Chains A and B, each alone.
Chain A
Amino acid sequence: MLEIKEFAAYYGEKQVLHDITANFNQNNITALIGPSGCGKTTLLKSINRTAELRHDFRVNGSIMLGGQEVYKYKDPAEIRRKVGMVLQKPIALPLSIRENILFGPRYYGVRDKAEQDAVVTTTLKRVGLWNEVKDKLNSPAEELSGGQLQRLSIGRILAISPKVLLLDEPCSSLDIKSTQRIEELLKELSSQLTIVIVTHNLMQAKRIAAETIFMSEGTVIEGNATNLLLEEPQEKLTQEFLSF
């Protein structure tokens, strides 16, 4: 689904991603691990083309989404519709829960009320929030807890039917129970989407990711099935990282 070939990225003169080649299979969760600052977030932002909002961002190489060159799209917004990204900090838009979910769909033309209601219901059910919020759809989303907000954030993106879901340390500010729920949600969603999750939690990678890629200093060092990578790392850098 998502193929990256010899991809390099620069912020001005500084090269931040070197010769990245990776494949993210459909209906799979792939974890991205590595020390802080190794470019994991930059890689995600390169895929959904939000990195280029910085004026000095340049790229080389190719990223293909479903066979189409990501960087050949004239309008980056089209890519961002297909590749959703969930950030580390759960953010609630200053709107009601219902309007949060409908934020994207409204922009893309969902006007009919029945259609809107359907989107809201389906999405909230998909992320497992329906039972908790069905009676207070019109109350402000800011009142939700961190874990609920993060599920809402995932819902916001699901509502515009992306093909790929990128997550940047989505559980780092959540408690164990909320983390569990998100992990379960991701496992369910993986049968419908391609998911890439950046995580610092190796146990999490083990729990949910079928494959794991290890990055260091802007380069992909090693990528393998999660069990194999974590237990029998081939590269020295990987071994050092895992053995800390």
Chain B
Amino acid sequence: MGRICLWGSGLVVISVLIFILSVLIVRGGGVLSWEFFTSSPKGLFLGTEGGIFPAIVGTASLIVISIMIAAIPALLTAIYLTEYGKASTLASLMNVVIQAMIGIPSILIGLFGYALFVVTLGFGISLLAGGLTLAIMIFPTLVVLMRDALQAVSDDYRILGESLGVSRRYVLQKIILPVASPHLLSSILLAMGYAAGATAPIMVTAAVVMSRGSASLLNPVMALPFHLYILFSQHISLERAYGTALVLVMLLLIINLLSLYLRKRYGKRVVSNA
């Protein structure tokens, strides 16, 4: 009896993924075409025909902006946690803070972003507001991933640097960052994937159903996850909704595979600390 439960649970997990992928491919695959990727939504009700190009561009812009805002602060914070702050009270506080931030529901980050960026700072529903909000959302995850990447680099190098009397910055710059860079890059990719799929935060800060204005920081944008939501909930086009979902999932799969590849292929020189 127990064995049935155990093996059964494994089977369930496998079937879930197969189910998801097959539904998406079967029902959404038909819509994918060059036109789908490169043209705007068209048709009597916008979206019943045409493609999702603006949503792709919008999502790409959002993740680029959020990464540009969050990456360096996250790296610096990770550096503080691994190199300079090690036993300090701030570091222990930081670890609690980061854990707390990771758990915050994304809609609440959206709420904060709405109140701060859209309303108080007056950016309005815009790419900038959305990018800033997403940056806050991915920041704690990035810090944890980057901290792990830095910690995975063997302490031997730091000890060697110390005994030669060189500064921590020098060891970081010459040895640790180069060794950790594939892992750091894979962290950035994972964070980008996380940002790409987030709907709730951008729903309230950046996204619109159809963007008319030119692409600029202060204009709203279309985004893949939001477009999917609209296509479905407004009953515009079920087929295109499947197509959009398929594109989104494929995008994320590619990002995840790329980040895994980076870590496996180039992370050879790294010796993990016991």
**Residues of chain B at the chain A interface (Cβ within 8 Å):** 87, 156-157, 159-160, 162-167, 170, 174-175, 178-179, 269
CB neighbors of B among A176-231 (8 A): none
User: Which B residues are CB-close (under 8 A) to A77?
Assistant: 165-167
On whether the beta carbons of A94 and B166 are closer than 8 Å, the reply is no
**Residues of chain A at the chain B interface (Cβ within 8 Å):** 48, 50, 53, 55, 76-81, 84-85, 87, 89, 91, 93-95, 103-104, 107, 142, 156-157, 160
On whether the beta carbons of A94 and B178 are closer than 8 Å, the reply is yes
Compute how far the CA of A142 lies from the CA of B179 in the bound complex, rounded to whole angstroms. 13
User: Which A residues are CB-close (under 8 A) to B164?
Assistant: 80-81, 84, 103-104, 107, 156-157, 160
Pairs of residues from A and B, 7 with the lowest C-beta to C-beta distance, nearest first: A80-B165, A77-B165, A81-B165, A107-B166, A85-B163, A104-B164, A91-B156
User: Which B residues are CB-close (under 8 A) to A94?
Assistant: 157, 175, 178-179, 269
With A93-B157, A94-B269 as contacts: A53 and B162 at CB distance below 8 Å: yes
With A55-B87, A94-B269, A107-B170 as contacts: A79 and B178 at CB distance below 8 Å: no
User: Which A residues are CB-close (under 8 A) to B165?
Assistant: 76-81, 104, 160
Q: A80 to nearest B CB, angstroms?
A: 3
Q: A89 to nearest B CB, angstroms?
A: 7
Closest to B156 in A: A91
Compute how far the CA of A87 lies from the CA of B156 in the bound complex, rounded to whole angstroms. 10
On whether the beta carbons of B162 and A80 are closer than 8 Å, the reply is yes
Q: B147 to nearest A CB, angstroms?
A: 20
User: Which A residues are CB-close (under 8 A) to B174?
Assistant: 95, 103
Can you list 23 A-B pairs with a CB-CB distance of less than 8 A? A50-B159, A76-B165, A77-B165, A77-B166, A79-B165, A80-B164, A81-B165, A85-B163, A87-B159, A87-B163, A89-B156, A93-B157, A94-B157, A94-B175, A94-B179, A95-B174, A95-B175, A107-B164, A107-B166, A107-B167, A107-B170, A156-B164, A157-B163
Compute how far the CA of A160 lies from the CA of B170 in the bound complex, rounded to whole angstroms. 15
Chain A CB count within 10 A is highest, among B159, B160, B175, for B160
Q: B166 to nearest A CB, angstroms?
A: 4
Compute how far the CA of A142 lies from the CA of B271 in the bound complex, rounded to whole angstroms. 13
On whether the beta carbons of B157 and A91 are closer than 8 Å, the reply is yes
On whether the beta carbons of B170 and A48 are closer than 8 Å, the reply is no
User: Which B residues are CB-close (under 8 A) to A87?
Assistant: 159-160, 163
With A93-B175, A103-B174 as contacts: A84 and B160 at CB distance below 8 Å: no
Q: A93 to nearest B CB, angstroms?
A: 6
User: Which A residues are CB-close (under 8 A) to B156?
Assistant: 89, 91
User: Which B residues are CB-close (under 8 A) to A53?
Assistant: 162
Closest to A80 in B: B165
With A91-B156, A94-B269, A107-B170 as contacts: A84 and B163 at CB distance below 8 Å: yes
